[in-house]
Structure 1
Amino acid sequence: MSERPPGPELLGTRLRHLLELLDGAVAASYADVGLPGFRPRFTPVIRALARTSPAAIRDLARATGVTHSAASQTVAQMAKEGLVTLAPGDDGRQRIVHLTGRAESLLLVLDAEWAATTEAAGRLEAELSYPLSRVVDEALAALGRRPMRERIADVLSESTT
């Protein structure tokens, strides 16, 4: 008897594994070009700041497609690495992010890595029956319309009626 591959019951686990494979490979490619320990999630922030520095964290979140909380956490890690500095905004609640000279010195290498990663991702998608980026966009949109928590609650209420 052949074992059936996992289905939706292990979706979160399998997505985390996929993300580990993707992020791990990108991080390794940064190490290959002399940037050991550089986190892949820093690059979109640095690229956004290169276009519009300085920027508020909320603007960086919007530009990079993540939540304000995720952008804030990434910026905090980047500040520890000496890639950005933070200053208070006009209203005191807002934090304004500036690139450091260190981050600016990495732009050429990061742009080349970004282009190579984008091309490699396109080639990966060409091997798939359905583009992964499109599936992710559709899943995010569906969860935006109706969060997973509500979906689970519906199933649980159906089973008790």
Structure 2
Amino acid sequence: MAMTSGPDGLGTRLRHVLELLDGDVATFLADLGVEDYRPRYSAVVRALLAKGPLAIRDLAAEMRVTHSAASQTVAQMSRAGLVVLEPGADARQRIVSLTPKTRDLLPVLEGEWTATNEAWDTLEAELPYSLRALLDEIVDALDRKPFRQRIGETEAARELL
């Protein structure tokens, strides 16, 4: 189903693409017998593999998501037995580390990551430009000038404020 301009805004379209991609990755993982692992967990697993156990704040920074988003994902992973939370240096800090269950899944997960990247390359070859590069450019532009500032500078916003 092609999406045309209309009531579906940019956020809706981005979420739809992400749902399509994540849904199919989750289905592939289920085909491999991995039922309690969601594609969104991979960013956590990759960060912890690269950096070792991390405080949720540091994990969020590593993943470039909000503390709240990282905390929610970690909570889901903890319920699934994929990470463990331990007290940090102060009472407010919780340190996240991978469980043996997750470490046992690593060969399958790493294979899925490779397969997913190869599939992404074939998808991107069908596009007139690199979506990865475009997304990087969007992040860079938003780092230079946040979207909230851009909204505030519009004529429509000036009429509302």
TM-score, with length taken from structure 1: 0.85
Instruction: Report what 2:134 is aligned to.
Output: 135
The structure-2 alpha-carbon separation of the partners of 1:9 and 1:30, relative to structure 1 and needing over 3 Å to count, comes to closer
Aligned residue in 2 for 1:33: 32
Question: Aligned pairs, how many?
Answer: 157
Q: Which moved more, 1:41-50 or 1:12-21?
A: 41-50
CA deviation digits over 1:80-125, x for unaligned, max 9?
A: 1111111111122221012111111111100100111111112211
Could you tell me which amino acid in structure 2 is paired with residue 21 of structure 1? L
**Identity across matched positions, percent:** 55
Letter of the 2:79 counterpart: K
Greater shift, 6-15 or 92-101, is seen at 6-15
SS at match of 2:97: strand
> Partner amino acid for 1:151?
R
Equivalent residue, structure 2, for 1:106: 105
2:117 corresponds to: 118
User: Is the 1:50–1:104 contact (alpha carbons within 8 Å) kept by the matching residues of 2?
Assistant: no
TM-score by length of 2: 0.85
What does residue range 1-161 of structure 1 map to in structure 2 within 5 Å?
A: 5-6=4-5, 10-155=9-154, 156-157=156-157
Per-residue deviation, 1:11: 1.2
SS of the residue corresponding to residue 74 of structure 2 reads helix
Question: Structure 2 counterpart of 1:79, which letter?
Answer: S
After superposition, the CA RMSD in angstroms is 2.3
Misfit runs of 4+, over 3 Å: 157-160
Give yes or no for contact 1:83–1:102 (8 Å, CA) kept in 2: yes
Determine if contact 2:54/2:95 at 8 Å carries over to the other structure.
Answer: yes
